[in-house]
């Protein structure tokens, strides 16, 4: 079981980097060349290429070459499903906190 836990830990480590999550999000719309991904996530070519390679080696992404362009696509739908679930939960928590802070702020106005 220790080997399984080690692999799970490595998997979550891979998903713990915001740039890699942005890349996965960008690729949810379909296969894209590296240059488009760089532009969309507003990062450097070198950083995006490094992160894409990590996701490719982990078999989360697939790639193909066409001329001088390299196109990436999602090959592991289970990873995308997991990211959608977690991102949805986090967005709800952030929204709830913002709503709670707004309500709490209304009680503070004029309370002296």
Neighbouring C-beta atoms of residue 104, cutoff 10 Å: 9
User: What pTM does this model have?
Assistant: 0.79
Domains assigned to the chain: 2-75 (1.10.10.10)
Residue 107 exposed, middle or buried by CB count within 10 Å (0-12, 13-18, 19+)? exposed
Model pLDDT for residues 63-108, shown as the tens digit of each residue: 999 999 999 999 998 998 888 888 888 888 888 877 777 766 655 5
Report the relative pairing of strands 69-74 and 32-33 from DSSP bridges: antiparallel
Lookup: tokens for 4: 């399984």
pLDDT grade for 110, boundaries at 50, 70 and 90 = low
pLDDT tens digits, 16-37: 999 999 999 999 889 999 999 9
């Amino acid at each position: 079981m220790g080997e399984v836990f080690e692999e799970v830990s490595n998997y979550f480590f891979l998903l713990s980097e915001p740039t890699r999550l942005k890349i996965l999000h960008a690729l949810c719309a379909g296969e894209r060349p590296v240059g488009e991904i760089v532009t969309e996530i507003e990062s450097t070519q070198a950083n995006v290429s490094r992160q894409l390679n990590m996701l490719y080696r982990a078999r989360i992404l697939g790639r193909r070459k066409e001329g001088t362009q390299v196109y990436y696509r999602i090959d592991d739908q289970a990873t995308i499903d997991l990211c959608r679930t977690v991102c949805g939960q986090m967005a709800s928590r952030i929204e709830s906190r913002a709503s709670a802070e707004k309500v709490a702020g209304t009680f503070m106005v004029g309370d002296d």
